[in-house]
Structure 1
Amino acid sequence: MTKLYFVRHGLTANNAKHAFNGSYSDHGLLPEGQQQASELGKFLQETHFEKTYVSPQKRAIETAQFILKENQLSSKELVTDTRLKEINFGQWDGVSIDSKEGHPQLHNLRHYPEQYDPSEFAGESYPKLIQRGISFIQQLDYTANTNYLIVSHGVTLTTLLQVLKGKELAKIREDGLLANTSLSVLETTDGQQFQEKLWNYITY
């Protein structure tokens, strides 16, 4: 049995000011975000992780480091993977979300992902995001009883986890976006079928 521990990064400046926080944005954690990650690390301090995979963006790397700082059972080594980066918002990255209220593609991003078309601002579509996320999942080793820690981003993880649970594209946002420093756990024996053990759990 393999357990995948998925964590969204802690609070950043873009989160705090309600701005698009995509694959181009590379802020580190705010002090509050560091505290969130430390709290989650304490919650997971007795869990042994065979490997820790992270997005190469600073906020994900720092979150993983704060989590593992509390853990004496796991290696501190991080394996970065570009497939875990946040969705690319193109020209919207770093821009105030409120400034795009009323734009049909913001509405689709949140509520109708199957209709989301970011080509106008050179963004990334949900199908392309799903493709790279599934590619990452498929390369993991599921042959042993293993725990993996995977630290990534809100839209990327929300999308990937819902797809792994079998949801169709139109329904991947119906449960909302995963919270900062939330923990979600999926379990699998073969890397094909996944069962939810924990969803969007926060420790702060």
Structure 2
Amino acid sequence: MTFSHRLIFVRHGETPYNAENRLQGQRDIPLGQRGRDQARSLGRTLRARIGPIIDRLEAEAAFVASPLERTRETMELARDAMALDPARYRLDPRLKELTFGDWEGLTWPEVQARDPKGAAARRADKWNFAPPNGESYAMLATRIGAWLDTLTADAFVVSHGGVARALMALIAGVPAAAAADTPVVQGRALVFERGGCEWIG
């Protein structure tokens, strides 16, 4: 798709589920202490590195987050560290993480033990596979594409790793299979613009 705006994307900070390598999907897991530290540190880094851009986005009320607690907390801590009102942002449910359905709360070894056929099917086609009662990356990309179609200007987004991978495929032209396997770092920002993406922080 053609996307002519700049999107500053932040994945939420680390949660206890992240630390344990558990699939959290749409479970509403709060940040751990390391995740809170990551959010504050990133806010300070962004203020120092791209302060004028941050101020312009703030003037345009262009900050938006997934409604899950870990993304809201990341947004508020980062905004506070950028010397902005922590509460001045909006929520969009389309920015939620993909749901892992029946696999949520499990580690990958537990998924392998409980659903070896499903685990094998996901390894074979990670982009298109949907866990039982869950979503695939392809389904998530459809949801995120619909959200992108509503953007009329630059934006600052706090969301999830799966959403970042969908954006890589939709905006930056990363092949779907590669996007599904791309690490999405916590504590850094990913800037999408001019048909590409790069990390800062």
TM range, normalised to the smaller chain?
A: 0.7 to 0.9
Contact 1:18/1:98, CA 8 A, preserved across alignment: no
Deviation at 1:182, TM superposition (A): 2.8
The aligned amino acid for 1:17 is E
Q: Could you tell me which residue of structure 2 aligns to residue 187 of structure 1?
A: 193
Per-residue displacement from partner, 1:134-169 (whole Å, max 9, x unpaired)? 111110113xxx4x2101011121222233112332
Q: Equivalents in 2 of 1:169, 1:195: separation in Å?
A: 15
Contact 2:31/2:73, CA 8 A, preserved across alignment: yes
Deviation at 1:172, TM superposition (A): 1.9
Q: Equivalents in 2 of 1:183, 1:106: separation in Å?
A: 30
Q: Could you tell me which residue of structure 2 aligns to residue 129 of structure 1?
A: 140
| Equivalent position to 2:19, from 13, 16, 21 | 16
The aligned amino acid for 1:87 is L
The aligned amino acid for 2:29 is H
Residues matched between the structures, number: 187
Q: Does 1:6 align with 2:9?
A: yes
| Equivalent position to 1:167, from 144, 151, 174 | 174
Q: Structure 2 regions of 5+ residues with no counterpart?
A: none
Q: Could you tell me which residue of structure 2 aligns to residue 191 of structure 1?
A: none
| Equivalent position to 2:165, from 158, 163, 172 | 158
Q: Structure 2 vs 1, CA of residues 173 and 65 (structure 1 numbering), >3 Å: closer, same or farther?
A: same
Deviation at 1:187, TM superposition (A): 1.4
* 3-state secondary structure, aligned to 1:94: coil
Deviation at 1:31, TM superposition (A): 0.8
Q: Structure 2 vs 1, CA of residues 114 and 173 (structure 1 numbering), >3 Å: closer, same or farther?
A: closer
Contact 1:90/1:123, CA 8 A, preserved across alignment: yes
Q: Equivalents in 2 of 1:180, 1:75: separation in Å?
A: 19
Q: Structure 2 vs 1, CA of residues 31 and 75 (structure 1 numbering), >3 Å: closer, same or farther?
A: closer
Per-residue displacement from partner, 1:81-135 (whole Å, max 9, x unpaired)? 11110111111111222212373544554663245142xx211122210111011
Q: Equivalents in 1 of 2:98, 2:83: separation in Å?
A: 32
**TM-align CA RMSD:** 2.2
Contact 2:137/2:180, CA 8 A, preserved across alignment: no
- Taking structure 1 as the reference length, the TM-score comes to 0.81
Correspondence 1:72-87 to 2 at 5 A: 72=83, 76-87=87-98
| Equivalent position to 1:29, from 7, 28, 31 | 31
* 3-state secondary structure, aligned to 1:160: helix
Q: Structure 2 vs 1, CA of residues 130 and 92 (structure 1 numbering), >3 Å: closer, same or farther?
A: same
* 3-state secondary structure, aligned to 1:15: helix
- Taking structure 2 as the reference length, the TM-score comes to 0.83
Q: Could you tell me which residue of structure 1 aligns to residue 126 of structure 2?
A: 113
